[in-house]
A = this chain, B = another copy of it.
């Protein structure tokens, strides 16, 4: 599906690929939340109000499978699982995602006015 567009609009294909990384409702929020460092699942759920348990699991798995987040457990214990940004994830959150947040903050007035 993406490849078709690559034939016509190469740069757009990249945009598409990138947007698909974050186009799930909570993924960007979780990524941003992880910028403060390795975080446990419980703390993520606590900090991000409104996200359900299932969605958090799904998002973390999705982000993990895409190489943006790693799950690190101390030994085999379950309740010590810690999620952390990978280099790729950090470059995404620190670069484009931060840009997006900055842009949104600067244009907040215009956005809320039109919505």
Binding site for B on A (CB under 8 A): 1, 4-5, 7-9, 11-12, 14-19, 21-23, 25, 28-29, 32-33, 47-50, 65-67, 88, 91-92, 95-97, 99-105, 107-108, 110-111, 113-115
Contacts and interface: CB of A to CB of B under 8 A. Distances in A.
B107 A100 contact: no
B14 A19 contact: no
A18 B49 contact: no
Instruction: Describe A's contact surface by its main secondary structure.
Output: helix
A50 B15 contact: no
21 contacts: A4-B49, A4-B50, A11-B32, A11-B101, A11-B105, A12-B29, A14-B100, A14-B102, A14-B108, A15-B28, A15-B32, A15-B97, A16-B28, A18-B104, A19-B23, A22-B23, A65-B114, A67-B110, A88-B107, A88-B111, A92-B103
